[in-house]
Chains A and B, each alone.
Chain A
């Protein structure tokens, strides 16, 4: 029941917003077409402004991923993550998650194919992936769009939140499906 309601909301949310906001404007006597195009013309400049920041971030992550340094990092961290009940198979995905959304999804698909979607590993990988964000990508895009270079405590705070999300995902998965 809850799932069906949620699916209906996500299906209708965008059409609803696309109707509701112009309708509200229309009845408030806003020139909706002119307001829309006025706002929309910023789309191009915003997208272009992100480019240097995204190139910097994706290139450095790409080099790190392709080098094989990930395997070394996994070996170094696995004794610690084993203590909280995280199987070694899932660890590469956990490390990949804040760096690359596509990379993490790739590892998750691989784990699900090898171990089965309804295995503990398959479920844990799904929950971990759904509970965290591509923090580096988001920071590069969001700060890049306004040309912020000194990001202060945004990265450590985001990574702490990712770590808490991952650990909680492992605990909940073991509790529910272990």
Chain B
């Protein structure tokens, strides 16, 4: 899926650009996007180090285990393949909490920590597990209580009531999170998304 989408963006983009006369803009955009990707990644280093450090303290002190235990009634049905007391559960919970509160800076490092923990449970290191797909579906559709950046744009544009969108955003994100969970649980049963035996063979052969 991702291979097709990725290729189509490039192929359609370049063919359309040839007809619309935007071909130079495409060249500029390709180069500046590559630079932006590196800037974004390197910009993460500091904040990643901060949150991974804090998470390590939470892990060593047993705090993460305690939190996962308290929330196991939600987490175990969502992530049946992950042991209830695995550190991945704690990292997922912390990431979800950061997303709900609109703490974008904290959410990404905590989420990447969760992915690393989930990867430890993964027998096939280049293929996503069901738990990873579930986590990402919930993550990208996250229930949001405070859409901070949107409120800021509205306030600066002179809205009489910049926060009036909070209620509707909560309704829409509850709907999208519900859809995400249903979609991911149904899609993981489809034959097209099963992990194929030949993929496993490849890994063994390496």
- Chain A residues closer than 8 Å to B190, beta-carbon distance: 153
Q: Say yes or no for A66: interface residue by CB 8 A criterion.
A: yes
Name the residue among A6, A55, A61, A126 with the largest chain B CB count within 10 angstroms.
A126
- Chain B residues closer than 8 Å to A162, beta-carbon distance: 140-141, 176
Interface CB pairs A-B, < 8 A, 8: A7-B146, A43-B44, A47-B45, A50-B44, A126-B150, A152-B127, A154-B184, A161-B137
State the CA gap A24–B63 with chains docked (Å): 8
State the CA gap A157–B133 with chains docked (Å): 8
B residues within 8 Å of A by Cβ? 1-2, 5-7, 9-10, 12-14, 16-17, 20, 22, 25-26, 28-30, 32-34, 36-38, 40-42, 44-46, 48-50, 52-63, 101-103, 105-106, 108-109, 111-112, 115-116, 118-119, 125-128, 132-133, 136-137, 139-142, 144-150, 153-154, 157-169, 171-173, 175-180, 183-184, 187-188, 190, 193, 195, 199
Contact B183–A63 (Cβ < 8 Å): no
Contact A39–B48 (Cβ < 8 Å): no
Q: How far is the CB of B202 from chain A (nearest CB, A)?
A: 11
State the CA gap A37–B50 with chains docked (Å): 9
Contact A138–B165 (Cβ < 8 Å): no
Contact A168–B52 (Cβ < 8 Å): no
State the CA gap A65–B33 with chains docked (Å): 11
State the CA gap A151–B184 with chains docked (Å): 12
- Chain B residues closer than 8 Å to A47, beta-carbon distance: 41-42, 44-45, 48
Contact A67–B166 (Cβ < 8 Å): no
State the CA gap A160–B188 with chains docked (Å): 14
Which residues 51-79 in A have Cβ within 8 Å of B in the complex?
Answer: 51, 54-69, 72
Contact B153–A108 (Cβ < 8 Å): yes
Interface size class of A (residues with CB under 8 A): 35 or more
Contact B106–A131 (Cβ < 8 Å): no
Q: How far is the CB of A65 from chain B (nearest CB, A)?
A: 7
Contact A158–B57 (Cβ < 8 Å): no
- Chain A residues closer than 8 Å to B136, beta-carbon distance: 138-139, 142-143, 154, 157-158
Contact of A17 among B61, B106, B172 (CB under 8 A): B106
Contact A28–B176 (Cβ < 8 Å): no
Chain B residue with minimal CB distance to A68?
A: B20
State the CA gap A72–B139 with chains docked (Å): 30
Which residues 115-151 in A have Cβ within 8 Å of B in the complex?
Answer: 116-118, 122-123, 126-135, 138-139, 141-143, 145-151
Contact B41–A56 (Cβ < 8 Å): no
Contact B62–A69 (Cβ < 8 Å): no
State the CA gap A3–B116 with chains docked (Å): 35
Provided the pairs A57-B6, A153-B193 are in contact, do residues A133 and B140 lie with their beta carbons within 8 angstroms?
A: yes
Q: How far is the CB of B203 from chain A (nearest CB, A)?
A: 11
Contact A150–B173 (Cβ < 8 Å): no
Provided the pairs A6-B146, A28-B62, A36-B53 are in contact, do residues A131 and B10 lie with their beta carbons within 8 angstroms?
A: no
Contact B34–A58 (Cβ < 8 Å): yes
Contact with B along A146-178 (1 / 0, CB 8 A): 111111111111101110111011001100100
Contact A157–B12 (Cβ < 8 Å): no
Q: Say yes or no for A80: interface residue by CB 8 A criterion.
A: no
Name the residue among A39, A40, A118, A154 with the largest chain B CB count within 10 angstroms.
A154
Q: How far is the CB of A84 from chain B (nearest CB, A)?
A: 13
Contact with B along A5-27 (1 / 0, CB 8 A): 01101100110011001101100
State the CA gap A69–B20 with chains docked (Å): 9
Contact A130–B111 (Cβ < 8 Å): no
